[in-house]
Amino acid sequence: MNDVSLVAIAVGAIYLAAFACVYRILLTYRTTQGAIAWIIALIGLPYLSVPMFILFGRYRFGGYLRARRLGDESLTSLLNRFEQQTTSIPIPGSDRFTDELQVLCRLGRQPFTDGNRCTLLRDGEATFEALFEAMEDAEHYILLEFYIVRSDRVGRRIKSILERKLAQGVKVWFLYDDIGSVWLPRNYLNQLAAAGARVASFGNGNIRRRRFQINFRNHRKLLVCDGRVGFVGGINLGDEYLGTAMDQEPWRDTHCRIEGPAVTGLQLAWLEDWTWASNDMPALDWEPADNQPGTDEVLVLPTGPADTWETCTLFFLNCINNARTRLWIASPYFVPDFQIMNALQLAALRGVDVRILIPEKSDSRLIGLAAYSYLVQACKTGIGIYRYQPGFMHQKVILVDDRYSAVGTANMDNRSMRLNFEITAITTAPHFIRSVESMLEQDLDGSRLMTERDYKERSILFRLACRAVRLLAPLL
């Protein structure tokens, strides 16, 4: 066979693969804009686009749903039992019933539970102090799941506590994301495993089913101790979340501590991820505590690319569309798609006080540029975009009227809404809402309200760059 024939076969194979990708896109695409962009690229530049599509073009996390929610009878039984337990949200006809809260229950397949105690942790120092204390007090087991784990001062403190608890007979399961924790030394994990901890990576632990799905991340940050105390929020395990890393801007972040029946929701989310990563289902405590630590209503909402719906997108839309007087959102990454942006505009037009709090200095130059491109569109309808000044703001917090608030891991970008596994705690507790309100008021006081002039008075090259980067929003 001559060289010409080999080249012809190679070209034919590439175009055959390109048309196979196009076929898949036509069957599964979410938006026409994204589908058209991929199709043009695959036909015009198949040599580059085919491998890019294989790595980054998928939007469903293949195998997770079948292997976890439907394939494991024990896990499915636990999910169904918790989902079907009596919810604390009133039934239709009562004064306190709201459709939007019922929607959240259905999205997450979890109920609002009462009898909880929720505590807002306003920064890294308060968060790590509470995390360390909860782990020190654990008597039976500790479950960890974090996107980023570092072997710095915070990471070593965590490891020291875990090794000490393991020596006391406490069981430890340690789950991390292999992409977020790419710089975590193997020795750190090996020493934990040698001390008796079960360690798994969300990506590498199930490589057969994970292959060609590297665009997905497990972005969750949670800790559960003994099934009684849990934590969720934006803080990973690293010194930067204390704002003490070398040559670092002050860090602004938020977490929350939950004690009570809602911790079961955190534990179920962790168990789903652990079972996926390790093919192992540990025996945990699922019996409710005899005493209820508080009176707070809490819902844990896990979201991700294995869900039946675009759960995270629907969560944001539900919050925006049902806001009546106030909608305050803090997010380090503000790159909304057209439906989220349209919903925000409509909320502002109907008189809702819409404020978006983002950092002045972003850790992503592209996302920082993209945020500028929404400025004129936002200002014309009365949306306030505030840039946090004292340092880098990484918190993910939502306040809807005086009715409920949410603290979690999801950003207002395509990655959180469609590609990442995220988790959010939502509560109707008045004291927690007041704490979030006070915290955000303080953050807003330290922020700069942007105007159309911030965009229009910049150079034409800057504005072109902003608009060009916005085209990449589905990839950011």
Q: Which of 178, 226, 273, 443 is catalytic?
A: 226
Please indicate whether residue 219 is annotated as part of the active site.
yes
Report the SS3 class of residue 355.
Answer: strand
Please indicate whether residue 177 is annotated as part of the active site.
no
Q: Which of 123, 221, 239, 296 is catalytic?
A: 221
Q: Which of 239, 396, 413, 443 is catalytic?
A: 396
Burial pattern 213-238, b for ≥16 Cβ within 10 A else e, equals bebbbbbbbbbbbbbbbbbbbbbbbb
Please indicate whether residue 255 is annotated as part of the active site.
no
Distance CA 388, CA 447 (A): 4
Contacts of 225 (CB under 8 A, 6+ apart): 134, 135, 137, 138, 141, 142, 143
Cα dihedral 179, 181, 185, 186 sign: negative
Count of Cβ atoms closer than 10 Å to residue 207 Cβ: 10
Please indicate whether residue 285 is annotated as part of the active site.
no
CA-only gyration radius of the chain, Å: 23
Count of Cβ atoms closer than 10 Å to residue 26 Cβ: 10
Contacts of 359 (CB under 8 A, 6+ apart): 252, 332, 387, 388, 391, 392, 393, 394
Q: Which of 159, 165, 219, 255 is catalytic?
A: 219
Please indicate whether residue 226 is annotated as part of the active site.
yes
Please indicate whether residue 221 is annotated as part of the active site.
yes
- Identify whether the C-beta of residue 221 lies closer than 8 Å to the C-beta of residue 147: yes
Distance CA 146, CA 219 (A): 7
Q: Which of 152, 401, 402, 454 is catalytic?
A: 401
Q: Which of 296, 394, 413, 443 is catalytic?
A: 394
Kindly state the tokens that stand for 188.
Answer: 């750190």
| 326-330 and 353-359 strand pairing | parallel
Q: Which residues are catalytic?
A: 219, 221, 226, 394, 396, 401
